[in-house]
Amino acid sequence: MSKKLLLSVLFCCTVLAVSGQEKFTVKGDSLKRTPVKADTGYVNHGRIAGRKALFRSALIPGWGQYGNGLTVYRGIKIAAIYTGGTLLVMSYIQNTSKYHEYLKELQYRAQHGNNPTPGNYLANVSTDGLTTAKEVYRRNREVVIFSIAGLYIVNIVEAYVDARLSYFDIGDNLAIRISPTVIGSQTMYGYNAFNPGIKVAFRF
């Protein structure tokens, strides 16, 4: 009777021990563990919002700022993006037009023995002056192109950072305290010198 009881107890313990083990999946001739990840329920909303803002701003400039929630501050940023972009595009068109205008005059003079185009207002400008002006407009055009690319990148970065900071909680316990203080220096000739200063303290 005691042997049957002991065997029953051992069998129950074995069943409980086997049911508490991790799950295994058989693949080929080997056994591989598939640990189940614990579901913490944490979702990083800031990262999700940042990715959405980055994609939107890359697709349409200003859309990321608008997607973060339209406020007066974000509206000003959207207006600044499009105002700056419009001015840069206008500058690019103007510099390109002037560049081709001076280039055309130089090409005409090269083909007609350094004689200016009849009736052109650039007739009184020397060939060296035309060459210098052409290079200036060419450089200006390149600077404008880099400026447009920079504005596009800043638009994307700003929307991403703004979206991430929208979910950044600094808490109610953060405080800063600024107060006057006295800074002591080393003793020199038996005299302790003190200098006025400002003390900045942070409390978390």
Bridge-based pairing of strands 191-203 and 30-33 is unpaired
Contacts of 165 (CB under 8 A, 6+ apart): 46
**Residue 67 to residue 56: CA distance in whole angstroms:** 8
Beta carbons within 10 angstroms of residue 104's beta carbon: 14
pTM summary value: 0.62
Helix, strand, or coil (residue 18): helix
Q: pLDDT value at position 179? A: 76
Q: What is the pLDDT along the chain (204 residues), one digit of tens a residue?
A: 555 555 565 555 554 554 444 444 444 445 555 555 555 666 778 888 889 999 999 999 999 999 998 899 999 999 999 999 999 999 999 999 999 999 999 999 999 888 888 888 888 899 999 999 999 999 999 999 999 999 999 999 999 999 988 877 655 666 677 777 777 655 555 555 666 777 777 665
How is residue 38 annotated by DSSP? P
Q: pLDDT value at position 21? A: 47
DSSP output for 128-147: HHHHHHHHHHHHHHHHHHHH
Quote the distance between the C-alpha of residue 166 and its chain's center. Answer: 15
Residue positions counted in the chain:
204
Helices (H), 60-173: 63-67, 72-111, 127-166
Question: What stretch of H or E contains 195?
Answer: strand 191-203
Q: pLDDT value at position 132? A: 95
How is residue 116 annotated by DSSP? P
Q: pLDDT value at position 24? A: 45
Q: pLDDT value at position 80? A: 95
**Residue 128 to residue 105: CA distance in whole angstroms:** 12
